Structure 1
Amino acid sequence: MNTRIGILGTAQGPHIQSLLKSFHHHSVQPILIPPTFLTSRVPGHTTAVSLSEQLAINDINALLVRSLPGGSLEQVIYRMDVLHRLEKSGVRVINRPGTLEKMVDKFYTLALLADAGIPVPPTVVTERFEQAMAAVSEMGTVVVKPLFGSLGTGITLVDDPEIAYRVFRALELGRYVYYLQQFLPHDNEDYRLFIIEGQVVAAMRRRGTSWKTNISCGATAEYVNPDPVLAQLALNTADVLNADYVGVDILISNDKPYVLEANGIPGWMGLQTVAKVNIADLLVQYVLETAAAGGAF
């Protein structure tokens, strides 16, 4: 079988480069497809101009999604529509479009996890300024997050009603949704667990110099072999979201673990610096095995 693998993304970042190197070791040359280069015909097929050729994406065996960049509402919805259409045509999309939709915004992810009984921080989401201010009075110190985003960008700690007033009025002008989580003391550390095919393949403790623990914000990574409670919590999260692979962030406050976020297109550069396995190799192996199995769901 001539396995053809597509990667939705570009070659600019280190994650794509590490994946290309791993695919090369398997004598596979994946096709890089920029997310903005997709063209659909109805009736007909979806095509794309890759970095090297014009192709019908329906001819590939599996598509690894490594980039779904922001854009207008039309652009975001169209890209997801394409992934759904490809999956329906028989292309194995990793992660599945339905899974990516569950993790595209923090509220939907958190609600699904909470409904499944997974512990998450107390959270209030609203469009009303008055309700946001009431949430601050109720919860005290809150973490204000954008619904979309990663790497800790745009996350603010608010512990004063006057500051909350100014921050929330500014968000109101931009027509943003207020996404507020109660701040949970955590000794400036949390955990990232990386799961592939129902297994925790790598984990780290992130230690920050402030309450933010993102590596991109200056936190340092330490190797950990997660205890069974954290590992099972991460595995349950992956199961609820039906994820092929996922990065799960867990915080411990007052001896109780909470799932903060789950990322359906997770990075691993920081984790790789302390991991005892090559994460890209494991992900590539999973993609190739899935494609060889006929993309079975």
Structure 2
Amino acid sequence: MVLTKTTLHSLKIAVIGIPGKWSSELLADALAARTGFKLVIDLGEVAADLANSRLLYRGQDLAELDGLVIKKAATRYHPGMIDRLEMLRIAEYRGVKVFSSPEKIIRLVDRLSCTVALRQAGIAMPPTLATESLDEALEAVQYFGEAIIKPLFSTKAKGMIWLSATTPLKKLRDQLTEFQQQQGFFYIQQKITLPNQDLGLMFLGGQYQGTYARVNQKHSWTTSTSEGGKYAPAEPQPDTLAMAERAQAVFNLDFTTVDMAETADGPMCFEVSAFGGFKGAYDALGMNMAEKYADYAIQQIQSAK
């Protein structure tokens, strides 16, 4: 179909995100500039009318829209996000094009689910142990020497804790006990030596878009921007790019960022993002991924009509 101003302005594509937040509004503005329609939807206010296959948000049946682009499912990661994403399957069932498919995103929201899928695909990752057992967790930290324990639902290093086997045993056990009381499950990853940065490789429709680095500015164990890390342009090694391409293909998302590290032992993958970020590309590369994503979503919807 040839895209014209008339056909574009007949499209109604909404953003699933956080009203007022930069990335959600950036994407919504990019879509509005092309279609004339803007709506940012907070999933916390959505009601699923299962008897009538309706998905209601402030009087709007989302299943009557042409498309939904998922940017954020909640202000913070938590298990309830899975239920929120499940509701979007109603719109998908009724023929609304959802980017990315909720069923695909759900596989990534839980850190353990993502890790299991990546390891089964042969993607190199830091040595990892998952358990509910305090004794097994303690033994893993002692074996790893240095470890990072991570919540199953988190982003930007929130809730992650660095542990060392040199810590007195009682204190180390107390740290693990406190984490268990808060999280209920241990995801323990050996701390690997990074070259003061890790990488975010972006993919849109499975096609590589570019890479930015998160550079450690405070000499802490994490490069997360929430802990002082800064974005910078980067160029991945060929084997790093090849591994990232394989990693994102496991989940086949419409847009994602693959977090990678280039170590002395070769490239390693930390995770494939459930939602993908715009900030790194914007700050480090001057690239507006929201505009690219908007063009992609419109093209996919139009080609399906």
For 2:20 and 2:92, the matched residues in 1 are separated by 26
CA shift digits 1:144-185 (9 cap, x unpaired): 111111111111111135343121111233352011001111
Following superposition, the deviation at residue 102 of structure 1 comes to 1.1
2:129 to 113, 117, 124: 124
Change (3 A) 1:188 1:100: same
Q: After TM superposition, which residue ranges in structure 1, 4 or more long, deviate above 6 angstroms?
A: none
CA distance in structure 2 between the aligned counterparts of 1:215 and 1:116, rounded to whole angstroms:
29
Q: Are the equivalent residues in 2 in contact too, given 1:215–1:270 (CA < 8 A)?
A: no
Verify: 1:238 aligned to 2:248, yes or no.
Answer: yes
Q: What is the TM-score when the length of structure 1 is the normalising length?
A: 0.91
Counterpart pick for 2:90 among 85, 93, 113:
85
Q: Of 155, 164, 180, which residue of structure 1 is paired with 2:188?
A: 180
Residue identity matched to 1:46: R
Mapped contact 1:194–1:247 kept (Cα < 8 A): yes
Alignment-derived partner of residue 61 in structure 1: 66
Is residue 2:149 matched to residue 1:144? yes
Query: Does 1:158 find its partner at 2:131?
Result: no
**Aligned with 1:47: secondary structure?**
strand
Alignment TM-score, normalising by the size of structure 2: 0.89
Q: State whether structure 2 residue 176 is matched by structure 1 residue 171.
A: no
| SS of alignment partner, residue 253 of structure 2 | coil
Residues 202 and 276 in structure 1, CA contact (< 8 A), matched pair in contact too = no
User: Is the Cα–Cα contact under 8 Å of residues 203 and 256 in structure 2 kept in the other structure?
Assistant: yes
Aligned to 1:227: 237
Could you tell me which of 38, 42, 46 is aligned with 2:54? 46
Q: Measured at CA, do residues 227 and 59 of structure 1 come closer, stay the same or move farther in structure 2, by a change above 3 Å?
A: same
Question: 2:266 and 2:300 mapped to 1: Cα distance?
Answer: 36
Q: Which runs of 5+ in 1 are unaligned?
A: none
* Contact 1:19 1:281 (8 Å CA) reproduced: yes
With over 3 angstroms needed to count, the CA separation of the structure-2 counterparts of 1:90 and 1:27, relative to structure 1, is closer
Pairing 1:106–2:114 present: no
Partner amino acid, structure 1, of 2:104: T
Q: After TM superposition, list the pairs within 5 Å mapping 1:241-256 onto structure 2.
A: 241-256=251-266
Please say if 1:213 is aligned against 2:213. no
Percent identity over paired residues:
22
**Pair 1:282 & 2:292 matched:** yes
Q: In structure 2, give the amino acid aligned to 1:187.
A: P
Counting only pairs closer than 5 Å after superposition, residues 264-279 of structure 1 correspond to structure 2 as: 264-279=274-289
- Structure 2's unaligned 5+ residue stretches are 1-6
Name the count of aligned residue pairs: 291
- Aligned-CA RMSD value: 1.9
Alignment correspondent of 2:212: 204
User: What is the DSSP-based 3-state SS (H/G/I as helix, E as strand, rest coil) of the residue aligned with 2:284?
Assistant: coil
Aligned partners of 1:24, 1:84: CA distance in 2, in Å?
Answer: 24
Distance between the aligned counterparts of 1:109 and 1:19, measured in 2?
25
Residue 276 of structure 1: how far off its partner (Å): 4.3
Aligned-residue offset at 1:72: 7.5
Contact map agreement 1:87 1:93 (CA 8 A) in 2: yes
Give, in whole Å, the separation in 2 of the partners of 1:48 and 1:9: 15
| CA 72–264 in structure 1, closer or farther in 2 if over 3 Å, else same | closer
Q: Is the 8 A contact 2:198 2:215 kept in 1?
A: yes
Structure 1 residue 255: Cα displacement: 4.1
Instruction: Tell me the CA shift for residue 30 of structure 1.
Output: 2.8
